[in-house]
Amino acid sequence: MSGLPAYQELRRTHRRFGVRATAVAVGGFLLYVLLSSFLPGLMNTPLSGHLTVGLALGLGQFVLMGVIVWRYLVHVRTDVTPVVRGLRGLVRHHGNARRRHGAVQERTTRHGAFQERPTRRGAEFRPW
């Protein structure tokens, strides 16, 4: 399964998105911390009433996280889910073929007679 090109592409796409999202989140937080440390006069500049640039940028961190989560949901819906559905179908197809092949081999004996195959409920492969 892990050698399939579709699976490799899925991992690559998901990893690429994760690296980008992490870089944006850490970059935004780091920018806020650096501005707070090295430009306190700018961060204390009032915008409106008691709202300062620092407070607005701090609240902007919540907005940034919301945007990242929204983009993650869009990414999963458009890039990940279709590939996962295809891989699930492929796994089901291979699993059914193996079960059919194994059932035929188990039922036939050396004399060509059929035996009932003992089955346990829930013993079959269920993806995800």
Mean pLDDT of 49-72: 96
Question: Which comes out higher in pLDDT, residue 15 or 113?
Answer: 15
- Where along the chain do its domains lie? 5-79
Does residue 44 register a pLDDT over 90? Answer: yes
pLDDT (tens digit, 9 = 90+) per residue, 88-123? 888 787 777 777 666 556 555 545 555 555 555 555
> What letter represents residue 5's amino acid?
P
The packing angle between helices 5-38 and 81-107, to 10°, is 140
> What letter represents residue 18's amino acid?
G
- Which residue, among 69, 67, 73, 41, has the nearest Cα to 54 in the 3D structure? 41
pLDDT (tens digit, 9 = 90+) per residue, 76-92? 999 888 888 888 888 78
